[in-house]
A and B are shown apart, each in its own frame.
Chain A
Amino acid sequence: MLLVALGIGIVAVIASALLGPKKGSRAKLMAYESGNDPEHGGVGTGQRFPVHFYLVAMLFIIFDIETAFFYPLAVAYQKLIPFAFFEAITFVVLLLVGYVYVLKKKVLEWA
């Protein structure tokens, strides 16, 4: 399935490369910047962007790991109650402490 799906993409890109016209000029191949010469463009030139994106990514990693811990618990839950309930609650509360800390630190604000 993966092979077929990727194959479709590759075939489409190759077909377009073969069929389309190729008349590149300097102006046409310039990066988009409203007609100005691009400034600080280019891959690996160290473009700077807000630290918020790092924070969101880190939070995502933390909470996604939490989700990953939750899946096996959820699937096996009915066999483990009521013991599992208290375990899960403890885990959630610990996480909520971290979550509230993040809220209080105003990490999730984009003002």
Chain B
Amino acid sequence: MPDWLATLLISLLKAVLVVLGLLTTFAYMTLIERRLLGRMQLRPGPNRVGPMGLLQPAADAIKSIFKEDLTVTLADKLVYTLAPIIAIGMALTAFGGIPAGPARSLFGENPWVYNLDAGILALLALTSMGVYGIFLGGWASGSKYPMLGALRSSAQMISYELGMGLSILGLLMLVGTTSFQGIVGWQAQNGVLILFQALGFALFLISSFAETNRTPFDLPEAEQEIVAGYLTEYSAIKWALFQMAEYVNMITASAIMATLFFGGWKGPQFLNAVIPGMSDWPIVWLVAKIAFFLFLFIWVRGTLPRLRYDQLMRFGWKLLLPLALANTVVTAAFLAFRGSGGLWFLGVLSFAGLLALLIMSDRVRVLWNQPTVRRPESEAVRAGGD
């Protein structure tokens, strides 16, 4: 067997494994989310199908496969079918670039599917391709409500994508590379980046909640508001594919946050004193960190109310964007004029910024709660109200 064929086969195998792993995680994520939300609301959650409800995802999957696959008469047939495939394809592909351990640590192979020098850029590009899936899905349904849902959704996602892209600029300045291996290596040497980019992390976290359409930013599919958003006309497996894409995006976002800000696959160093080499175990640490962030996603969903659409857009444009720029400029100024001082000062600065934001939150909230444009009273009355 020639060399290139072996490499191809191995990466194909890894791709299949990652995809199957992600799909299983997605299935159990839905179960865990329902169970956890149940816990938070003092009720048991699904516990009938199988022990502790463990067969519930399988039951759901079988049901959605055997459901009737409707295509509405007004729909654009090709795009209508293509949209969920795009959504799930991009969501799954994005995950492959994230390293889960040091090179050659997975039975002699690399614990990632593909490795690019511009890792973060590729990943951001792929996640933003997901917008196409959602928008085309809503547009191709040929009905008004999905169209509106899709418009809202894509406007939201592109707005918060800006915040996301800008919030990691400070980090990139510190690290000086866009490859995941480089970033993880830098953190192993200098300490995890959350210490130096606390504000950047907070912005990134908020943007990724909005990017994945999770509460408190889940307006695109706000079921009490505009029917079901872009999903209104979908049934059976196509609907399930959109849901899958959302959850896979959540997993990917968690993995990015773990890799960029929390040291990626590297475990805490002090544990090496207990069991030598413990901080280098492949996969274990990454999975632990991803699980933590997924729990955070669910926790927030169980806690916070939803924003209104105008508040959401104002929040993204008036708060996230300037703050991300400010974070970038402060980091840049620090790096340019730090002299010989250590990085700790930047960390203090970043945490101070975050703290100031939290303390000022009542003042800042005016930014997105109160519109500066008000319709004149008389005009509203003449038009018969809203």
Within 8 A of A (CB), among B230-271: 232-233, 236-238, 240-241
> Which residues of B have CB within 8 Å of A2?
89, 93
Q: Mark A30-55, 1 if CB is under 8 A from B, else 0.
A: 11110000101111000101001100
> Which residues of A have CB within 8 Å of B143?
31-33, 38, 41
Within 8 A of A (CB), among B212-241: 227, 232-233, 236-238, 240-241
Assuming A6-B85, A30-B72, A85-B336, is B325 touching A92 (CB within 8 A)? yes
Closest to B87 in A: A9
Contact A16 B373 (CB under 8 A): no
Q: Mark B165-189, 1 if CB is under 8 A from A, else 0.
A: 1100110110011100000000000
Contact A8 B19 (CB under 8 A): yes
Assuming A31-B233, A32-B227, A56-B313, is B68 touching A13 (CB within 8 A)? no
Residue from B162, B170, B178, B240 in contact with A67 in the complex, judged by beta carbons closer than 8 Å: B162
Report the minimum CB–CB distance from A70 to chain B (whole Å): 5
Residue from B84, B93, B310 in contact with A1 in the complex, judged by beta carbons closer than 8 Å: B93
Q: Does B365 contact A (CB under 8 A)?
A: no
> Which residues of B have CB within 8 Å of A49?
147-148, 151
Residue from B65, B68, B74 in contact with A43 in the complex, judged by beta carbons closer than 8 Å: B74
> When chains A and B are docked, how far (Å) is the Cα of A92 from the Cα of B70?
50
Contact B68 A21 (CB under 8 A): yes
Residue from B16, B69, B155 in contact with A17 in the complex, judged by beta carbons closer than 8 Å: B69
> When chains A and B are docked, how far (Å) is the Cα of A84 from the Cα of B12?
43
> Which residues of B have CB within 8 Å of A31?
72-74, 141-144, 233
Contact B65 A16 (CB under 8 A): yes
> When chains A and B are docked, how far (Å) is the Cα of A67 from the Cα of B328?
11
Assuming A4-B19, A30-B73, is B68 touching A20 (CB within 8 A)? yes
Q: Does B15 contact A (CB under 8 A)?
A: yes
> When chains A and B are docked, how far (Å) is the Cα of A30 from the Cα of B71?
9
Q: Does B341 contact A (CB under 8 A)?
A: no
Contact B162 A5 (CB under 8 A): no
Closest to B172 in A: A74
Within 8 A of A (CB), among B306-330: 309-310, 313-314, 317-318, 321-322, 325, 328-329
Contact B178 A75 (CB under 8 A): yes
Contact A57 B155 (CB under 8 A): yes
Contact B144 A47 (CB under 8 A): yes
Question: What is the size category of the interface that chain A forms with chain B?
Answer: 35 or more
Assuming A75-B172, A103-B318, is B155 touching A53 (CB within 8 A)? yes
> When chains A and B are docked, how far (Å) is the Cα of A15 from the Cα of B85?
13
Contact A64 B23 (CB under 8 A): no
Residue from B73, B113, B237, B374 in contact with A29 in the complex, judged by beta carbons closer than 8 Å: B73
Q: Does B375 contact A (CB under 8 A)?
A: yes
> When chains A and B are docked, how far (Å) is the Cα of A96 from the Cα of B72?
46
Contact A47 B336 (CB under 8 A): no
> When chains A and B are docked, how far (Å) is the Cα of A84 from the Cα of B92?
37
Q: Does B195 contact A (CB under 8 A)?
A: no
> Which residues of B have CB within 8 Å of A92?
325, 328-329
Assuming A42-B142, A88-B332, A109-B310, is B173 touching A16 (CB within 8 A)? no
Closest to B64 in A: A16
Contact A71 B178 (CB under 8 A): yes
Contact B314 A110 (CB under 8 A): yes
Q: Mark B133-156, 1 if CB is under 8 A from A, else 0.
A: 000000111111111100100010
Q: Does B282 contact A (CB under 8 A)?
A: no
Residue from B74, B321, B337, B374 in contact with A82 in the complex, judged by beta carbons closer than 8 Å: B337
Assuming A29-B72, A31-B233, A67-B166, is B335 touching A78 (CB within 8 A)? yes
Q: Does B88 contact A (CB under 8 A)?
A: yes
Q: Does A81 contact B (CB under 8 A)?
A: yes
Residue from A4, A70, A89, A96 in contact with B15 in the complex, judged by beta carbons closer than 8 Å: A4
Closest to A29 in B: B73
Contact A110 B165 (CB under 8 A): no
Report the minimum CB–CB distance from A62 to chain B (whole Å): 10
The 5 closest A-B pairs by CB, nearest first: A110-B310, A16-B237, A5-B92, A31-B143, A9-B85
A sample of 22 cross-chain residue pairs with beta-carbon separation below 8 angstroms, ordered by A number, consists of A1-B92, A4-B16, A5-B91, A8-B23, A9-B88, A12-B240, A15-B65, A21-B66, A31-B73, A31-B144, A31-B233, A33-B145, A38-B143, A41-B143, A42-B142, A43-B75, A43-B139, A56-B313, A70-B328, A79-B176, A92-B325, A111-B375
